[in-house]
Structures are given as structure tokens and as C-alpha cells.
Chain A
Amino acid sequence: MVKLLVDIGSTFTKVVAVNLDTLEIVSRAQAPSTVEEDVTIGLRKAFNEIGKEVDISRLQPGDVLACSSAAGGLRVVSIGFVPELSCDAATQAALGAGAKIVGHYSYELTRQELSEIEELSPDIVLLAGGTDGGDRRVIVHNGTMLASSANSKPWILMAGNKAAQDDLKKIFQAAGRDVRFTNNIMPDIGVLSVDRCQKEIARIFLENIIEAKGIAKVKAMSSGILMPTPVAVLNAARLLSEGIRSDGFGELVVVDVGGATTDVHSIASGSPPSGVIALGMLPELYVKRTVEGDLGVRYNIDTLVQLGEDRGILAQGAFKREMKKFSSAGTLPENEIESDFDMMLASVALDTAIERHAGKMDVVYGAAGKMLVQHGKNLTDVKCVIGTGGPIVFCRNPRRVLERASFSEEKPNNLKPKNPGFYLDERYILYAAGLLAEVDAGKALGLMKKYVRQV
């Protein structure tokens, strides 16, 4: 039997056709996404391409699984109290739920900040602040501001001090506004508890947001949008790392280089090596996602070129003509120089994104002499780096791009993976495996082991 695994992206709608009996990818197609007019147009085009290679005439909607990051993705504003504590916790919780963080605010919101949030008009406002039994002043202030907001479109999810719940319920009720509640994502200092919050975000996405964005229309042609695309990739990464009966790849990092952003997903404990203290007030999440919104290989060409020059990856003033051409979405390289340019952009994006995601080791001097401290997540023991995203998968030398993920003696305090194996999601199926895992984890894992190739 054949299943169609769909990703409705911001630029392209991609479809992978998998034969579940032989665990083979039997076809792949993509068409420009058509969310503004009617999302099913682009989807139908892609299906038609598939239909030329495989007989899909007898497929039922239930045989089509879909995810999406279209219409700006799942746009979230995170609000907390102290930036390095509840505010950061909210941002991390939302990122792990596949969100695009369009704003983050700390302390008590001002009127100006409320206007900004109204202007941003996110899909969800994630409101945190205060440990359980701790500060309630800030979250109640912020809740009161939000309840009075002129823009009632965003869904509000309260994930802060549980002692403030009753008051906030009353405040929102009095304002005639809906609000959802979940457990405190930071119930105590040094504790992150994000699972239920992420499930609630998923629920809000599925029950409301995809409808509002016009992508729920695919319901007639599929089993509906099951999750935001980043969650499909995250789920796939976790499954590949852990396996089903301890038969996974172990700790790993997935880098997804895209036109608008570069995302990094690490499945690793990230704990410091022996003798090193971990600083930082929040624990590192075992499943961690970061999104670099300034490292997209189409949207951020100027930034990447500048970074490339700074890092010595790119000569000054090279690729001037290519820079102009590639500034529009949907452009693919057509000759060798353009391919080189594309590969350079991907290299810079990957190098920078992994550096930012990984932790840093610093030397500090105490009374007892030199000491080593770690900020962030230690990825030096991760032995598996997987590249995905068109710009890596379709470039001429993916291995050269992926090597940028390695630890380097020139920057020894960047805790990037030391001598990892490099893998390529060359059939661009990570998201597909993440979707397939919803109905058959075993086959999804098998699919990844078959097609995520060492390079």
C-alpha cells in the first residue's frame, strides 16, 4: 500500500509517496504552495506529478498525511517575568512545539508593548511568569493587559504560576475573553516542565489555527493537517535517535537549512564533561530546537554573505550577480557558479546555526585557580549530524557543507560535535517519517534507516 506524505511549506508544497510494504520511496514531487488562493491547487498539482509515476487513483484521503508551516507558520509571542527564567522557558516550550517566535516580552508589559503584540497579531500568546507559589504580580498584570487588548484574535495560553490561575480566570471572564490553562512550564527554579504545554499548543493549532489560515481545506484530500512541519522533523529526529527497542542512532543533531530560517534540533543530554560546572539557570532540554530567523538562504542573503566574509568562508565581493538573482523566493541554481554560491550560503548558515545552538565552555579564575564552566548544551559527544533542507540535500557537495558542524580547534570553546559521522536526508524524507510515525513508528524508523545516508 502507498501513503502520500505532504509538507505544505511557505514556498513549496512537497509530496513523498512511500510504498509501506516494500518501504520504498516510489515518487516525489513538489509544486509552489498556493495558500493565498486555495491551498488545494498546489497540492493537486503535486499529486498529478506523483500520479505520472505511481497509480494513486484508488488512494483514500486517509492515505494522505500532512503537516504544514505555511501562512507564516505557527506564530507565537512568549511572555514571562525574568528574561533568563520564565521568559526563556516560554520561548523554549513554544519552539519545541514547532512555533515561530515572533516576539518575546519580559517583566510587566507596557502599553507600547501591548500595541506591538496587537500589531504582530500572533496565533498564540504563551503567558508565563512566577514559579508555583512564587511571584504572581507580573503574570496577573500581563494577563490583565492582554484581557483588555483590542485584538482578540490570538489564543491565550497561560502556563505560569498556578497561584494566579483563579484571578486570571476571573479577569478574562469579565473581559469576555477566552483563555486556556496548562501547568507551569517553570514550576520551580531550575525545573522545566514543557510537555503538557506543548500538547496544548498542538491542540490549539489543530482545532483552530489551521482553519483560520485556510490550510485546513486539505481535509477533503487527506487526513488533515496533523502537526506543524517542525514538529514532524523533531519527532523524526527523536525516533531516529532513540529507536524503538534501543536500535536508534544515539544522540544526534539535525540541521535544517531553509529559505527563510535555519533550524537546529538536538536530541542529546548536553551535560558538561566531568569536572566542568554547568552555569545557566534553566536546564537544557534533551529535545532542543532553535530557529535562526536571520539565517535563511533566500530571505537573509545579505546577512549570510556578511557572516561568510567575517568567518573567512567567503572572499569579499564574490558572487555579486548571484546575490541579486537569488533574492526572490522559489529560485533554484541553474549553473555551476550559482551552485557554488548556494552551497556557500548553506555552509555559513549551518556553521552559524550550530554554533549558536551548541553551548560554550569558558575559563574562569577563582580562588582555587583555573576552572571550566559551561553555558548551554554540550554537543561534543554527539556522533551523528544529519543535514536536511533543500539547500543541503540538493547541493553538489553536501559533505563539505555538513563538515561545518564539526568542533574546530580554532574555536575550542564552541561545544560542537567532535568528529561526528555525517548523514544526509537525501530523499528529503525526515518530515515524512515524522508523519508516518503517527500511524506506524516501526515503518517510519525503517524508512529513515534506509534513506538517511551516511556521506
Chain B
Amino acid sequence: MGKQITVITGTVGFDAHVIGTKILSHTLREQGFKVIELGIQTPPNDFIKAAQESNADVIMISSLYGMAEFDLKGFKQKCIESGIGDTLLYIGGMLAVGKHDFKEVEKKFKDLGFDRVYPQEVDLSVAIAELRKDVDRKSARRADRR
């Protein structure tokens, strides 16, 4: 089947919302993933440092206070500079303030370099299935390169 997939979770920035990231982390563990749970109020750079040391496959960022775009400007570039340009970036939650069209928000974060973007109401089993697919695809690409 392959080695255990390592996931970094946490709520980014000065955001104290804990439930989303806790439910995500719990579900991932139940599904057999190795989860490094950074918790709430995680500075963007801490996601990167944790991913470097643990050689994580994916960083799954939660944000519920609507300021994620501000927190994560330049995040993908930092990942590339830090040698983790290959690490998958997922983000989910309440990603903008006030009423907004999710499709526009999704595009905004994909432009920032995120691989997948999810709204608050996401069905985690769908997200996890997409995660497995993405990781398999990445491993296949890496195998092809050799």
C-alpha cells in the first residue's frame, strides 16, 4: 500500500478556532494517517518548519476567521524556498469575511498555490479520498522521474 501519509494540521494566524482542525485531525488519524497537530494560532512559518523536519506529504490548514488570504500571501513561495515545494497544500474553513461566492474564493487560494480549497461544510470523507488520490499521483510522478 505504501508508507503512512504524514499530514500537518493547524489553524493559521491569530485565530483561536479549534473545532475544525480537531475534527479533521481526529478523522485523519482514524483513517490511518500520521497527523502532526500544530493546533490553533499557528504562524504560517511553523507549518513549513514542521513539514521540513517531518518530511510531510501534505499541509492541511484550517482558517475560520476570514483572514486566511492575508495570512497566507507568499506561502507557496516560502514552501518552495524551504525545499518543500512538492508538499501538497490544502486549506479549508471560512476563508473570507462576510457573504462571498465560494468559487471566487477557491480561485483566489488556488492562485496563491493551494492544491485544494474547501468550504466549511465540506464532507471530510470526500476531502480524504481526494488527498489519497493526490498523494498517489505525486508518488507516481516521482517514480516516473527516476
> What is the chain A residue whose CB lies nearest that of B42?
A279
Q: In the complex, what distance in Å separates the CA atom of A335 from the CA atom of B24?
A: 69
Contact of A367 among B6, B14, B34, B52 (CB under 8 A): B14
Q: Is the CB of B50 within 8 A of A281?
A: yes
- Does B54 sit at the interface, judged by CB under 8 A? yes
- Across the interface, do A134 and B55 meet the contact criterion of CB distance under 8 Å? yes
Q: How far is the CB of B61 from chain A (nearest CB, A)?
A: 15
Chain A residues contacting B40 (CB-CB under 8 Å) are 277
* Partner among B4, B8, B53 whose Cβ is within 8 Å of the Cβ of A135: B53
Q: Which residues, 1 to 34 on B, are CB-close (under 8 Å) to A?
A: 4, 6, 8, 13-16, 34
A281/B14 in contact, CB under 8 A: no
Q: How far is the CB of B86 from chain A (nearest CB, A)?
A: 13
> Cβ of A189 < 8 Å from any Cβ of B?
yes
Q: CA of A186 to CA of B49 in the docked complex: distance in angstroms?
A: 13
Indicate if the CB atoms of A277 and B41 lie closer than 8 Å. yes
State the Cβ distance, B38 to closest chain A Cβ, in Å. 7
B36 near A: Cβ within 8 Å?
A: yes
Residues in chain A near residue B66, CB distance under 8 A:
367
Q: A73-86: contact bitstring with B at CB < 8 Å (1 yes, 0 no)?
A: 00000000110111
What number of A-B contacts does a CB cutoff of 8 Å give?
71
Other-chain residue from B8, B13, B14, B55 in contact with A130 (beta carbon distance below 8 A): B55
Q: Which residue of B lies closest to A365 (CB)?
A: B14
C-alpha gap A451/B52 in the complex (Å): 50
B119 part of interface (Cβ distance < 8 Å): no
Contact B54 A364 (CB under 8 A): no
**Given A131-B53, A135-B55, residue A188 in contact with residue B36 (CB < 8 A):** yes
Known interface pairs A84-B49, A367-B65. Does A131 touch B54 (Cβ–Cβ under 8 Å)? yes
A134 and B15 CA atoms in complex are apart in Å by: 28
Contact with B along A372-410 (1 / 0, CB 8 A): 010000000000000000000000000000000000000
B22 vs chain A, min Cβ distance (A):
15
A317 at the interface (CB under 8 A from B): no
A-B contact pairs, 13 of them (CB 8 A): A130-B53, A131-B53, A131-B55, A134-B6, A135-B52, A189-B53, A189-B54, A190-B38, A366-B13, A366-B15, A366-B65, A367-B65, A371-B14
Known: A130-B55, A189-B53. 16 other contacts (CB 8 A): A81-B52, A85-B52, A131-B54, A134-B6, A134-B55, A135-B54, A186-B53, A188-B36, A188-B54, A189-B8, A190-B38, A279-B41, A281-B49, A364-B14, A367-B14, A371-B14
Q: A-side interface residues toward B, CB under 8 Å? A: 81-82, 84-86, 129-131, 133-136, 186, 188-190, 277, 279, 281, 364-368, 371, 373
